[in-house]
């Protein structure tokens, strides 16, 4: 019976399959097989034994049910795997797990699981990048009101919004590739990391095992890979979640009835409320923001897992059984949902324009101040004059430019052409060029990835 929503509600089948019991067992067996092959290459065990162990180190031979049966009796998860594998290897089973400690197997298997999971995260980030690049191009000139402190500021463009997110997603892709160098690390170093159980060939054994599995060997460990590595991983996943949360929050705000500039896609048969048939709720974006809170919270236990007693204790183990699969599955759900939302984002141009002009040109206060300065008025004097005129326009509910026309000082300095030029659409600065620069940077990154075969 499924209990946690990651078992049946959140995440793709692909991501869930990585962290299911069967695949986790297979990864443990993969490490045991690689260890046997390394021993055989160095002449520590017969090649035939390594062949048999490798052939049978899979879930067709080693059944999950049998492993659980043994664990229920001996209360040790990895020794249960060792015993179950040894059983199916017959006389060759005596060489299984030779010289290894439990976390040599667990931590190296975790690195394999993390490697598979990060491949999905990277693929999703690249897809999200592609969607955002398309939106930035399409809306480079879609002028809208910018908001600071929740108040109308000056005009910006939707291209700027999407390009900001696009640039951030690229940083995550860069971080991920840098992260792999530190995260995708395994160990084969024995009880407290000294490799005493492997004798003089310890470093060679570790090197052979990691080359076999496509991982880097840890430079040094005690009984475990140091958990600053996992803490960095969890922090990375949480930072990605925060970007998705940022996007979702903006869309939720912009979809509010009184703003309604953009909206999540809404299916023909989709139901918004069990009692209010008219509702079009931003449920995907709200889900993204909600699940982000779980990923944020999982960073704390990952940090607490780094300081352990002496060469290790077991307090990190139970935590990691929860936070690793949970964080990857939930982030997968968030990424997939944000891709859907942005791919089908609905725009309401009439509302975008309405909101742009809602304050009756109060948002033209800055360019007005700058124009007065250009005409010879001191900057501070111009600021104070425009501030007073803006407050008057606000209190009287009138257009700012109308109020400015009535002011003798301002009217003497400004021409009719100046007034005609004071339009929101004319005050977006270098926004299109800035967006173009971001897109050019992203496309160069994409070309680099293709040349590297990524």
Give 52's Cβ-side CA count (13 Å radius): 17
List Cα–Cα distances, 167 to 170, 288, 355, 366, 442, in angstroms.
5, 20, 27, 28, 8
Which residues share a beta bridge with 217? 186
Q: Is 149 a catalytic residue?
A: yes
Angle between the 228-254 and 158-183 helix axes, to the nearest 10 degrees?
A: 170
Q: Alpha-carbon distance 31 to 274, whole Å?
A: 51
Nearest by Cα to 81 from 108, 51, 116: 108
Q: How do strand 143-148 and strand 151-157 relate by DSSP bridges?
A: antiparallel
Whether 438 and 431 have beta carbons less than 8 Å apart is answered as: no
Q: Is 273 a catalytic residue?
A: yes
Nearest by Cα to 338 from 294, 296, 286: 286
Nearest by Cα to 97 from 47, 34, 179: 34
Q: Alpha-carbon distance 66 to 76, whole Å?
A: 13
Q: Alpha-carbon distance 239 to 292, whole Å?
A: 9
Whether 29 and 61 have beta carbons less than 8 Å apart is answered as: no
Task: Round the CA-based radius of gyration of the chain to a whole number and report it.
Answer: 30
For residue 180, what are its two tokens?
């792999």
Give 140's Cβ-side CA count (13 Å radius): 13
For residue 377, what are its two tokens?
């008025």
Catalytic residue among 4, 273, 297, 415: 273
Nearest by Cα to 214 from 112, 85, 87: 112
- E strand intervals along 52-165: 143-148, 151-157
Length of the chain measured in residues: 454
Q: Alpha-carbon distance 204 to 209, whole Å?
A: 9
Catalytic residue among 75, 149, 278, 310: 149
No. of H helices and E strands in the chain? 18, 6
Nearest by Cα to 38 from 26, 23, 25, 53: 53
Residues with catalytic roles: 149, 273
């Amino acid at each position: 019976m499924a209990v946690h929503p990651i078992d049946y509600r959140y995440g793709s089948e692909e991501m869930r399959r990585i962290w299911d019991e069967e695949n986790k067992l297979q990864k443990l067996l993969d490490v045991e097989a690689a260890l046997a092959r390394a021993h055989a290459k160095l002449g520590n065990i017969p090649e035939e034994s390594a062949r048999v162990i490798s052939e049978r180190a899979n879930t067709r031979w080693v059944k999950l049910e049998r492993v659980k049966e043994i664990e229920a009796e001996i209360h040790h998860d990895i020794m249960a795997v060792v015993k179950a594998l040894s059983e199916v290897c017959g006389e060759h089973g005596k060489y299984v797990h030779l010289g290894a400690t439990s976390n040599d197997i667990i931590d190296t298997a975790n690195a394999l699981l993390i490697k598979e999971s990060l491949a999905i995260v990277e693929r999703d980030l690249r897809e999200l990048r592609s969607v955002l690049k398309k939106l930035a191009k399409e809306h480079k000139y879609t002028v809208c009101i910018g908001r600071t402190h929740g108040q109308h500021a000056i005009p910006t463009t939707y291209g700027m919004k999407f390009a900001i997110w696009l640039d951030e997603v690229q940083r995550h892709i860069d971080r991920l590739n840098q992260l792999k160098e530190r995260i995708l690390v395994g160990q084969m170093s024995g009880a407290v990391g000294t490799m005493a159980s492997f004798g003089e060939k310890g470093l060679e054994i570790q090197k052979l095992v990691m080359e076999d599995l496509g991982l880097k060997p840890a430079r040094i460990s005690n009984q475990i890979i140091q958990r600053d590595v996992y803490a960095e991983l969890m922090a990375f996943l949480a930072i990605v979640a925060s970007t998705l949360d940022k996007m979702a929050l903006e869309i939720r705000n912009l979809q509010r009835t009184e703003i309604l500039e953009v909206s999540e896609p809404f299916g023909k048969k989709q139901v918004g409320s069990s009692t209010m048939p008219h509702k079009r709720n931003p449920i995907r974006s709200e889900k993204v923001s909600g699940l982000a809170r779980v990923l944020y919270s999982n960073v704390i236990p990952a940090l607490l897992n780094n300081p352990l007693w002496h060469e290790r204790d077991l307090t990190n183990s139970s935590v990691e059984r929860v936070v690793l699969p949970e964080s990857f599955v939930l982030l997968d759900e968030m990424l997939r949902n944000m891709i859907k939302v942005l791919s089908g984002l609905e725009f309401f141009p009439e509302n975008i324009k309405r909101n742009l002009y809602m304050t009756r040109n109060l948002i033209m206060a800055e360019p007005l101040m700058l124009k007065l300065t250009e005409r010879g008025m001191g900057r501070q004097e111009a600021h104070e004059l425009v501030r007073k005129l803006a407050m008057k326009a606000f209190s009287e509910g009138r257009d700012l430019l109308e109020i400015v026309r009535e002011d003798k000082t301002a009217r003497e300095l400004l021409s009719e052409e100046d007034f005609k030029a004071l339009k929101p659409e004319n005050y977006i600065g270098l926004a299109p060029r800035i967006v173009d620069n971001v897109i050019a940077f992203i496309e160069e990154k994409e070309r680099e990835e293709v040349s590297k075969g990524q």
